[in-house]
Structure 1
Amino acid sequence: MTDTPSPGTPSPGTFDSALVRPARPEDAEELLRLRAELHSGLATPEPWHAAFPAAMRERLGTDPGLHAFVSDTGEGRLAACAIGLVYRAYEGPLYTGGLWGRVHSVITDPAHRRRGHAEAVTRALVTALQGAGCASVELNATDDGLPLYEKLGFTPAAHYLTLRRPLDGGAA
């Protein structure tokens, strides 16, 4: 006799997308754990380890510009998360309505990778950002994440640069 999953039961190696939900303040420590995974190998300032979960507890569910979705294992741990923000720009051809969204983080716990968690939380996040009026949604992709984002319809933007230190001096 073989084990046949009942209808609606995920097959081994996949997950139930119904476990994707908006992040809640009580998820703050798990969000920190996942964010730390993203930054593993990088020097992260110690105050960040207290400031990030405090900000999440304060803002999740109350800040209309912060959107976060998680894939819950149902066992007290998160399998994945996607966090993004709505920004107000100015009315323009790329920002009709003046709003744009930014995906800040998509992280999957290593034990839960390649099962669809990142796609599910990213879809939920992008849907929420677009529902909030964002005409454009942007993100920085890692090599690992690029195929997923391309599958979802993201395309490269030419000439995107970033500055993460004080502006060099010089005559203006």
Structure 2
Amino acid sequence: MTEEDALSIARLRSEMIKAPPIGRWFEDLTAYLTDGLARAEDMAGFVVDVPAGHLVSAALGTIYQAPPGPTYTGRTGYVHLVLTKPGYRRQGYGRAVTACLLAWFWGQGCGLVNLTASADGERLYRSLGFEENARSMRLFGT
């Protein structure tokens, strides 16, 4: 994924979440993707473009350092998004971009990869070896 893909990924995300690609959230997402890709040491993304020249699938993740433990370096990957246009699903594109992202995490020394699965993505993630973590919790700020 390149910086030039940032706008295409932002548009694909807006399509997937059924939110218009306008306003502050869209500008912030595009800037986040562009800026993050410029700092390639802690963010990576992988995309599939079809011959017609448009992006149909993408996976994006970042690495952060958590406190190490006796069996864990603390280097952790987080899958932020895996997107595939509806007309291109069930063709292996989501699997391909996710597998590339996982390989990148492992190559960067990550000992753990986390994600939050949507109902649509759960089957894919399980098939790649992800397991539920019943202790995981979250809190949104106001």
* TM-score with structure 2 setting the length: 0.90
Residues 1:124 and 2:100 are matched in the alignment: yes
Q: 1:73 to 1:44 in 2, by over 3 A?
A: closer
Query: How far does residue 93 in structure 1 lie from its aligned partner after superposition?
Result: 4.2
Asked if 1 retains the 8 angstrom alpha-carbon contact of 2:61 and 2:81, the reply is: yes
Q: Percent identity, please.
A: 35
How big is each residue's C-alpha offset from its partner over 1:78-123, in whole Å with a ceiling of 9 and x where there is no partner?
Answer: 11000111011111146x2221111010010112111000000000
Query: How far does residue 70 in structure 1 lie from its aligned partner after superposition?
Result: 0.5
Pick aligned residue for 2:4 from 19, 23, 26: 26
User: 2:41 corresponds to which letter in structure 1?
Assistant: P
Distance 2:94 2:131 in 1: 18
Distance 1:51 1:74 in 2: 29
Distance 2:9 2:113 in 1: 22
Structure 2 partner of 1:115: 91
Runs of at least 4 residues of structure 1 off by over 6 A? none
Where in structure 2 are there 5+ consecutive unaligned residues? none
Where in structure 1 are there 5+ consecutive unaligned residues? 1-22, 167-172
Asked if 1 retains the 8 angstrom alpha-carbon contact of 2:58 and 2:84, the reply is: yes
User: 1:81 corresponds to which letter in structure 2?
Assistant: A
Q: 1:61 to 1:131 in 2, by over 3 A?
A: farther
Distance 2:139 2:105 in 1: 25
Distance 2:76 2:57 in 1: 23
Query: How far does residue 61 in structure 1 lie from its aligned partner after superposition?
Result: 4.7
Query: How far does residue 44 in structure 1 lie from its aligned partner after superposition?
Result: 8.6
Distance 1:139 1:93 in 2: 23
Residues 1:103 and 2:109 are matched in the alignment: no
Distance 1:73 1:109 in 2: 11
Number of equivalences: 142
Query: How far does residue 57 in structure 1 lie from its aligned partner after superposition?
Result: 2.2
Q: 1:146 to 1:73 in 2, by over 3 A?
A: same
Structure 2 partner of 1:147: 123
Query: How far does residue 164 in structure 1 lie from its aligned partner after superposition?
Result: 1.0
SS state at 1:158 partner: coil
Larger Rg: 1
Residues 1:134 and 2:116 are matched in the alignment: no
Structure 2 partner of 1:48: 25
Pick aligned residue for 1:89 from 53, 58, 66: 66
**CA RMSD of the aligned region, Å?**
1.9
SS state at 2:83 partner: strand
